[in-house]
A and B are shown apart, each in its own frame.
Chain A
Amino acid sequence: SQKIEQNSEALNIQEGKTATLTCNYTNYSPAYLQWYRQDPGRGPVFLLLIRENEKEKRKERLKVTFDTTLKQSLFHITASQPADSATYLCAPFTSGTYKYIFGTGTRLKVLA
């Protein structure tokens, strides 16, 4: 069955450093992958979408890579700030589907 894995352990980093979060998937070949941010008690908020033919996508301090050979996406936040502290979810999905399947998320804490 399709499986999406994100680091279940919380990631603590120092302010100003680059945070790198991992999303691995198995048993399917997504053509698209989205990243969302979720704050406690709130619904997720869309951040970025990357297509399989795009190796890298950037938006301000955010960068996403998509390696279809490794079946992995990396999500980077450069010059991290305490306000970046949240849970980050990935959602890879295949062509022809309306379904969004989310990873369990990685909780990021940026320490001042």
Chain B
Amino acid sequence: SQTIHQWPATLVQPVGSPLSLECTVEGTSNPNLYWYRQAAGRGLQLLFYSVGIGQISSEVPQNLSASRPQDRQFILSSKKLLLSDSGFYLCAASLAGRYNEQFFGPGTRLTVL
């Protein structure tokens, strides 16, 4: 089965600072990759997904961006964080193709002050 690695586990950043969260996947090739954000007590909000290297689909207009420089690496970035960027960020992967279960990473809890 797939293993999803995310780091760091927690992060406290000042408003206006940059952000880089990394996600790597083990156990499969050519996975579909996803970034979600979950605000406290809320549901999962899909931010970006990728079905291949260099292919990124954005779901929500915001000051975040994503990149997939390698097959099993997915990076979430921001040039300037906002207070509203605080939340629990989850990376997920599914097998290539459609309708497969998603495997989630442990998440990064980001607090923007």
Contacts and interface: CB of A to CB of B under 8 A. Distances in A.
Interface of A: 32, 34, 36, 41-46, 49, 89, 93, 95-105
A42 B106 contact: yes
Interface residues of B, number: 25
User: Among the interface residues B46, B98, B109, which one has the most CB atoms of the partner chain A within 10 A?
Assistant: B98
Q: Which applies to chain B's interface (DSSP): helix, strand, loop or mixed?
A: strand
B35 to A, nearest CB: 12
Nearest to B4: A43
B37 to A, nearest CB: 12
29 contacts: A32-B99, A34-B101, A36-B102, A41-B107, A41-B109, A42-B106, A43-B92, A43-B104, A43-B105, A43-B107, A44-B44, A46-B101, A46-B102, A46-B103, A49-B99, A49-B101, A93-B99, A96-B98, A98-B32, A99-B46, A99-B49, A99-B59, A100-B34, A100-B46, A101-B46, A102-B46, A104-B42, A104-B43, A105-B43
